[in-house]
Every structure is written in structure tokens, then in C-alpha cells.
Amino acid sequence: MAGIKTAQEKCVCTLSPALQEKAETELNEKPLRRDHDIQALRAMINARPDLNARTDDGFLLRFLRARKFDRDRAFKLLENYYQVRVGTPEIFENFLPSRIRHVLDKGVVAALPGKDREGRKVIIFRPGRWNPGDWPIYDNVRAVILSLELLLEEDETQVSGLIFVQEESGVTMRHAYQVGLSYARTIAKIFQDAFPVRVRGVHLVNESFLVDAIFAIIRPFLKDKLKKRIQLHGSVYETLHELTGTWVLPTELGGDGGPLGEMAKDWTEKLIRFEDRMVEYNKFGMVKL
């Protein structure tokens, strides 16, 4: 790739006092050391000629936060972030919102506009709205990751993290057949080892017996921490409400946020407007020496 490293824009912290305290308590983020830690991570990148990474403060900060300001672990995460793009072309080739418009228009993936009671963003994933004959399963993953790229532009999401709500109605054996070992290994690696996001929970609703079959394939690749954060709710939305609050959820899940179709449409428009930035971000990556 021939990208040019971005200007080292000074990071302006937008966290509220409460979130600054949370970042310090949970993520070991020390305001007086923040600039030093960012500069140290930048120096590690600059020492690697094969790694043409973004080096702006805001980008580096998300990796430090994701690894609780352990600079070595943050660097490894950043390295994995770029390496996985080379090794997984089925997801990262043509990695632009316009290339997954079909997924968005069907409402398979959407980030909700508000935040839950813990300040976390909520991504709704509805695999039952996907016809496996129309596009490959990796297009759905691409839509999720692009959504995460946009969400992680916010400091609050970097600190508070996010949760996934998988609405499983309409899932059939045709969907289950798409989840093989290669797919399970790939998504586990990306979300656990190659992306600077704090996944605080995965909540399934309206799930059927097929969930057991699907998770039997995926579960061996998940770390214990993430396994413990997977919760099945069935059709009892109240247990989900207790965790998130009702204001952030759509009507279809017993919430007060309005129709999910409108939320999904709004998210599609936001993600499409993110296109130009992703064009620039895609210029960075691993360099063949």
C-alpha cells in the first residue's frame, strides 16, 4: 500500500469527568501520561518500516484503551489489525460502506442511535433477514466491522464499549450451514485479537434450537471472558431491558426508541456518509519490503 501516515493531530479528550474516571479505573488511562503513552506507541510503529499505520493520536488511543494502556499489547493489537486485512480478503477487499449497501438496506446490521444504561452503543444483528443465496456470509461481517469503525470514532464508545443484540427470528438451517470452522475461526480472531473494541455483551433474543448448533462451532474459538458475556433471552425481552434500559431499544424488542426500520435507515445513511473517510483509512496497511 502507498498510504502516507496521517498528521499527528493532537488528541483532544472529549470524555466527561465521569467517563474520565471510568477510563482511569477500568482502563488504566492516566491523563497526565496519555500523551506520553501515545507517543511511545507511535515510536513503536515508526520503528517498523513494514507497517504503514495511521499514527494520529485519536487512532492510537483506541488501541491503548482496548489493551488497558499496556503499550506492548496495544502494539500487537494494532499489528494484528493490519495483518488480518491482508489475510482476510473476503472481508477487507472493497472494504467500503457502499459495497455492503445491500446488507444495510435489508436491515441485517444497524447501530442504534442512543446508548444503554452503561453508556454502551448497541448493534442489532438480524441474520434472519439475510437470504444466504443473495450474498456471502462475510458481507454481513464486513457490515458489522464497518459499523464498528464508525462507532469507534467516539471516545465514549472506546471507553464504555458496546453490546451486540442478535435478533434470531427467521434463522433456518440454510443460515446455520453457512457457519463453518473457517468462518468461526476468522470472526473470533478479528473480534478478540485484531480489533480495538470492548465487546461488553452478546445478547440473543428469539433464538431457536439452531443456536446450540451454531455456537457449538463457534464456542471453541472464544475466550472465556467473551463466553461469559453471551446471554440468551428467548422472547423474554424484560431481561434485556434490565441490562440496557428501554429507551435505547426499538419497538420490536419492547423498547421505546421507535421502529427498528427507521433506526436502520438512519444508520445506513450515517455509514454511507463515512465512505470518504474509509477510502482514506484503507490506504494504510502492511507494506511489502
- Domain co-membership, 67 together with 201: no
pLDDT confidence of residue 222: 95
- Domain co-membership, 266 together with 130: yes
- Domain co-membership, 68 together with 133: no
Q: What is the domain count for the chain?
A: 2
Q: How many other CB atoms sit within 10 Å of the CB of residue 206?
A: 19
Q: What is the dihedral of CA 12, 14, 18, 24, to 10 degrees?
A: -40
Joined together, the cell numbers standing for residue 270 give 450515517
Check if the beta carbon of residue 11 is closer than 8 Å to that of residue 58.
Answer: yes
> Could you read off the pLDDT of 152-205 as tens digits, one per residue?
999 999 999 999 999 999 999 999 999 999 999 999 999 999 999 999 999 999
pLDDT confidence of residue 1: 39
- Domain co-membership, 47 together with 138: no
Q: Is residue 180 part of a domain?
A: yes
Give me the sign of the Cα torsion angle 137, 113, 229, 150.
positive
- Say what the pTM is: 0.94
pLDDT confidence of residue 2: 39
Q: Is residue 257 part of a domain?
A: yes
CATH code of residue 253: 3.40.525.10
- Domain co-membership, 114 together with 212: yes
pLDDT confidence of residue 212: 85
- Domain co-membership, 115 together with 31: no
Burial of 276 (0-12, 13-18, 19+ CB in 10 A): exposed
Dist CA 101 CA 209 (whole Å): 30
- Domain co-membership, 115 together with 36: no
Maximal C-alpha separation, the chain: 55
66, 89, 112 — which closes off a domain? 89
Which residue matches cell numbers 474516571?
21
Spell out, as residue ranges, where the chain has pLDDT lower than 50: 1-7
74, 89, 104 — which closes off a domain? 89
pLDDT confidence of residue 289: 73
